């Protein structure tokens, strides 16, 4: 699809989606939200894409809501705009491929929520995170935040509206790793390329497990995982991966 505010590149089965509205801090105007929904909906059906990176580049992620537009909304006429946000959120969360957020700068309010919909988050040292909705008399997205960092910490993030630096976000378990400024995208691409060599079906099913297991009792969860494991073990791709690993071990170079 043609996009004005998103840049798309695809390389080695990795799609990189870059929010590109720098003059507005990558703020989430309606056109941006519609493009996010449309592009992620398109990417989910592409068999040549195994992993997706969502980023705003090395300097910023997204400053969040476009406040000039939100200020014009009234209670009785806000449904269309709020629905755009949640369609964009769901397009990221429920697309088939794992989505990695590469956060190079501020990810605030709606920008924070975009990172929240991703499966993995990496940040540079200049990144900032915060759910600022409470400071604007708005309610934040608490789920799936509590599933990632725990309910108590999620309440702190949501109720205080505090801004967290990258290392504090890493300590709370929201960010997986922090990279030096300017080195974020190259490192995340290296991780994504490795992931993209894995079986696309396994990546998809593992992502879906993450969505479903918390709603199952332990017995059902174990049975679900057993069934999925059984459906992949012995496959052609499984045999090829094992053969490659055994060959490398014989050479003294375990992969």
Sequential DSSP letters for 156-203? HHHHH---EEHHHHHHTTS-SEEE-TT-HHHHHHHHHHHHHTS-HHHH
H-type helices in the chain, by residue range?
30-44, 67-70, 79-93, 110-117, 145-149, 151-160, 166-171, 184-196, 200-212, 218-232, 236-250
Average pLDDT, the chain: 92
Tokens standing for 25? 């801090």
Any domain includes 130: yes
Any domain includes 211: no
Domain CATH number, residue 94: 3.90.226.10
Distance CA 61, CA 115 (A): 9
Any domain includes 205: no
pLDDT of residue 255: 55
Any domain includes 98: yes
Same domain, 66 and 189: yes
Same domain, 18 and 130: yes
Look up the pTM and report it. Answer: 0.90
Distance CA 38, CA 40 (A): 6
pLDDT of residue 88: 95
Lowest mean pLDDT among 62-71, 74-83, 110-119, 136-145: 74-83
Same domain, 232 and 186: no
List, in order, residues 6 or more apart from 70 with CB less than 8 Å away. 81
Same domain, 98 and 11: yes
Tokens standing for 93? 């969360």
Tokens standing for 145? 């935040």
Same domain, 86 and 166: yes
Structural domain harbouring 222: 216-250
pLDDT in tens, 55-70: 999 999 999 887 777 7
Any domain includes 125: yes
Lowest mean pLDDT among 115-124, 128-137, 233-242: 233-242
Same domain, 102 and 26: yes
Q: What is the DSSP letter of 39?
A: H
**Helix, strand, or coil (residue 90):** helix
pLDDT of residue 239: 87
Q: Total domain count for the chain?
A: 2
List, in order, residues 6 or more apart from 15 with CB less than 8 Å away. 8, 9, 43, 46, 49, 51, 52, 53, 97
The CA-based dihedral angle spanning residues 8, 112, 115, 38, taken in that order and rounded to the nearest 10 degrees: -40
Same domain, 191 and 222: no
Same domain, 33 and 153: yes
> Is residue 117 over pLDDT 60?
yes
pLDDT of residue 244: 86
**Mean pLDDT across the stretch 4-8?**
97
Same domain, 239 and 187: no
pLDDT of residue 82: 77
Tokens standing for 63? 């400053």
* Residue 212 burial (C-beta neighbours within 10 Å; 0-12, 13-18, 19+): exposed
**Mean pLDDT across the stretch 72-94?**
82
Any domain includes 207: no
pLDDT top residue among 128 and 139:
128
Same domain, 37 and 93: yes
pLDDT top residue among 223 and 78:
223
> Is residue 254 over pLDDT 60?
no
Same domain, 113 and 79: yes
Same domain, 97 and 15: yes
Any domain includes 225: yes
Quote the Cα angle for 109-107-67, to 5°: 45
Any domain includes 121: yes
Distance CA 67, CA 118 (A): 24
Beta carbons of 244 and 238 less than 8 angstroms apart = no
pLDDT band at 77 (very low <50, low <70, confident <90, very high): low
């Amino acid at each position: 699809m043609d996009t004005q505010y998103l840049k798309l590149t695809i390389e080695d089965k990795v799609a990189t989606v870059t929010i590109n509205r720098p003059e507005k801090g990558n703020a989430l105007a309606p056109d941006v939200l519609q493009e996010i929904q449309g592009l992620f909906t398109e990417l989910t059906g592409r068999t040549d894409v195994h992993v997706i990176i969502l980023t705003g580049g090395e300097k910023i992620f997204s400053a969040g809501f476009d406040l000039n537009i939100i200020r014009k909304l009234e209670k009785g006429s806000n449904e269309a705009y709020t629905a755009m946000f949640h369609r964009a959120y769901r397009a990221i969360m429920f697309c088939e491929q794992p989505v990695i957020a590469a956060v190079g700068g501020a990810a605030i309010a709606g920008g924070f929520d975009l990172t929240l919909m991703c499966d993995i988050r990496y940040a540079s040292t200049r990144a900032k995170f915060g759910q600022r909705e409470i400071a604007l008399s708005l309610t934040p997205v608490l789920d799936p935040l509590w599933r990632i960092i725990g309910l108590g910490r999620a309440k702190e993030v949501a109720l205080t509206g505090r801004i967290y630096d990258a290392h504090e976000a890493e300590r709370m378990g929201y960010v997986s790793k922090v990279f030096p400024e300017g080195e974020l995208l190259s490192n995340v691409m290296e991780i994504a390329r490795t992931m993209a060599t894995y079986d696309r079906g396994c990546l998809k099913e593992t992502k879906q497990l993450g969505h479903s297991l918390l709603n199952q009792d332990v017995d059902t969860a174990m049975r679900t995982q057993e069934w999925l494991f059984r459906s992949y073990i012995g496959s052609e791709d499984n045999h090829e991966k094992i053969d490659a690993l055994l060959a490398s071990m014989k050479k003294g170079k375990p992969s």
